[in-house]
Amino acid sequence: MYLAKDLDKKEYSRLMKFSFEVKRIPPEAAQKMSKNGSHQGFLAEVDEYDFYDFRSFIDKKFILVLSGLTDVGNIGALVRSAYALGVDGIVVCGIKQLKLDAIARTSTGALFDMPLALHHNIYDVLNELKLAGFQSYGADMGGENINDVSLSKKRVLVLGNEGEGLSSRIISKLDNVVSIKMAHNFDSLNVSVAGAIMMDRMRI
C-alpha cells in the first residue's frame, strides 16, 4: 500500500499496525499513480481482476444483471450494494469493456470480493439462467410493486441503462416486471439507488 505523505498521522499510525507493506510517497507521486483520480491519500497495488464466466453462477441463488449501464459511478455503487445485500454474482451486458479501476474505487473495494462477469448478449444470459431454474425480475416504472411479488429462491434482478431503462424486447423475455411504489408523483430514481432498494427487497 502507498500512502501520501500529507495523510493524517493518526490514520498512518493505524494502518502501520497491519501486516502489509506500507510506503509513504510525495503527494505529487500519489496523484500521478492515481492518474489524477481521487485517491484521498490511499493507493494500493492489486492483482489484475479476472472476470467470471456467468455460467459459473447457475448454482447460485441471487444474480444481478446490468443491461447497457455505462456510468462507472453507478456500476461501482451497485457492486458495493450488491456485496452488502447478499447478491451472489453480477453480469454486465451490452458493453464491450469496463473501467475497472474506477469501479473498484466507487465500490470501495467490494469489486475484489464480488464475482463479476462481462457478457455482451443479455439474451444468452437470460436464456441460460432460465434453463438453470432462475426467475427474472426486471425493474421498470410500469411494473408491479416489488412488495407484492412472490419471489423465487433462484432469482435474477435485471436493471436497464441510465437513460432508457430496459428495452421492450428485453422486457418481453422476463418472467416479471417490478417497480418501487413512490410516495409522491415522481417519475424515477437513480439506477444505483433503485437497484439497491430492489436488491434489499428481494432478499430471502
Q: How far apart are CA 161 and CA 107, in angstroms?
A: 18
Distances (CA, A) of 7 to 2, 3, 14, 102: 11, 7, 12, 21
Distances (CA, A) of 80 to 54, 107, 111, 171, 190: 19, 5, 7, 26, 15
Largest CA distance in the chain: 57
The answer to whether 117 and 87 are in contact (CB under 8 A) is no
Taken in order of first residue, the domains within the chain and their CATH numbers are 2-43 (no CATH), 54-201 (3.40.1280.10)
Does this model's pTM top 0.75? My answer is yes
48 φ, ψ to 5°?
Answer: -65, 140
Q: What tens-digit pLDDT sequence spans the chain (204 residues)?
A: 677 777 777 876 777 777 677 787 887 887 777 766 666 666 666 667 789 999 999 999 999 999 999 999 999 999 999 999 999 999 999 998 888 888 988 998 899 999 999 999 999 999 999 999 999 999 999 999 999 999 999 999 999 998 899 999 999 999 999 999 998 888 779 999 999 999 999 999
Q: How far apart are CA 87 and CA 156, in angstroms?
A: 10
Q: How far apart are CA 169 and CA 172, in angstroms?
A: 5
Q: How far apart are CA 4 and CA 41, in angstroms?
A: 5
